[in-house]
Structure 1
Amino acid sequence: MRRYETDSPQAAGRVLALAMVVDGNLAQSELAALDSSRILQYIDLDQEGFQVLLQELCQDMLTSAFHGEVRIDGAMLDGLLDEIRHPDLRRQLMQAMWRIADADGWLADAEAVLLARASTLWCAETNFSGQARIAA
């Protein structure tokens, strides 16, 4: 799997692309959700650049296919998510990923795994800051 600079538009775009294809189906409604979220503008990535990232992600995933089945193991998923470190970027991506996952009206198991892992790694329970809140 390719590596991108931490918090780069490419790293963020790949996470969005993964949210779109992780269930094995790229739905038109997911593309519409991506567009309406305006997340590409937020991460400073144009539509053409996103399409390139989407193709590269699919190529990378196919190189690790086993007997025609594409799998993303936990370590690979963690590596992709770890390229996103900034709390605000994590929060914006998480919102967009949920919109994408909800777009087709069905939350696939693979989408649920991705969202749960992102929530865990990105410290959703601590407001994405990596620091636990202290109760008064």
Structure 2
Amino acid sequence: MRNYPRNSPQAAARIVALALISDGHVSSSEERALESLDIAGQLGLAPAQFAQIVQTMCEDQSVAHTPAVGQLDAAQLTTLFGEIDDTALRRKVIRLCLAVTVADNYLADGEIALLTAVFRAWGPQPVQTTNRHVALLSAPRAHARTAATT
């Protein structure tokens, strides 16, 4: 497995790339999420650079004879996750991994395993809410109250 500098855009992109391929393929909805969310740009990379990191990840896995595309053993994951120790960058990577994995409205076993490993490795991250999030979270309860009173 190739090494990237600690907290570099490439190290962060590799984890997102792993999330992208963790179900064994890249769907068209995942590709659209990459483009519409400008995931490469959010990580400080050009789209071609992100694509190269995905390609490199696949090549590294092929050379290492991993059991399946997008699946690494615990030691390899520990190494990759250890390259990111900046809390803000970790939050961004988690958010981008989630966006990629849910883009096709289905979480495959490989995606669940990867997300679980990320959360275990980096521990609980403080959640920051904005007014927009609070409004969305309270909307179902407001609707339920209205429906209950009618």
Amino acid of the residue matched to residue 109 of structure 1?
Answer: D
Offset at residue 13 of structure 1 (A): 1.0
Q: Is the 8 A contact 1:39 1:92 kept in 2?
A: no
Residue pairs, 1:84-95, within 5 angstroms: 84-95=84-95
**Counterpart in 2 of 1:111?**
111
Q: How does 1:52-131 map to 2 (within 5 A)?
A: 52-65=52-65, 69-70=68-69, 71-123=71-123, 125-127=124-126
State the shift of 1:69 in Å.
4.6
Is the contact made by 2:13 and 2:50 (CA closer than 8 Å) also made in structure 1? yes
Q: Percent identity?
A: 35
Say if 2:91 and 2:125, in contact at 8 Å, map to a contact too.
no
Secondary structure of the corresponding residue to residue 6 of structure 2: coil
Work out the CA distance in 2 between the residues paired with 1:26 and 1:39: 15
CA shift, 1:39, in A, is 3.1
Aligned counterpart, 1:134: none
TM-score (norm 2): 0.77
Measured in 1, the distance between the counterparts of 2:86 and 2:40 equals 16
**Partners of 2:119 and 2:68 in 1: CA distance:** 26
Structure 1 runs, 4 residues or longer, greater than 3 Å off: 68-71
Alpha-carbon distance change, 11 to 20 in structure 1, aligned in 2, over 3 angstroms: same
Larger Rg: 2
Distance in 1 (alpha carbons) for counterparts of 2:17 and 2:24: 12
Match of 1:8 in 2: 8
Q: Counterpart of 2:111 in 1: which secondary structure?
A: helix
Structure 1 residues 69 and 40, CA gap change in structure 2 (3 angstroms): closer
Equivalenced residue count is 126
Deviation at 1:82, TM superposition (A): 1.3
The alpha carbon displacement at 1:86 in A equals: 0.7
Higher helix share: 2
Contact residue 34 and residue 100 of structure 1 kept, 8 A? yes
CA separation of 1:111/1:11 partners in 2, compared to 1, >3 Å: closer, same or farther?
same
CA shift, 1:122, in A, is 1.2
Consecutive unaligned residues in structure 1, runs of 5 or more: 129-136
Partner of 2:25: 25
3-state SS in 1 of match to 2:104: coil
Q: Tell me if structure 2 keeps the 8 A contact 1:6–1:85.
A: yes
For 2:109 and 2:36, how far apart are their aligned partners in 1? 24
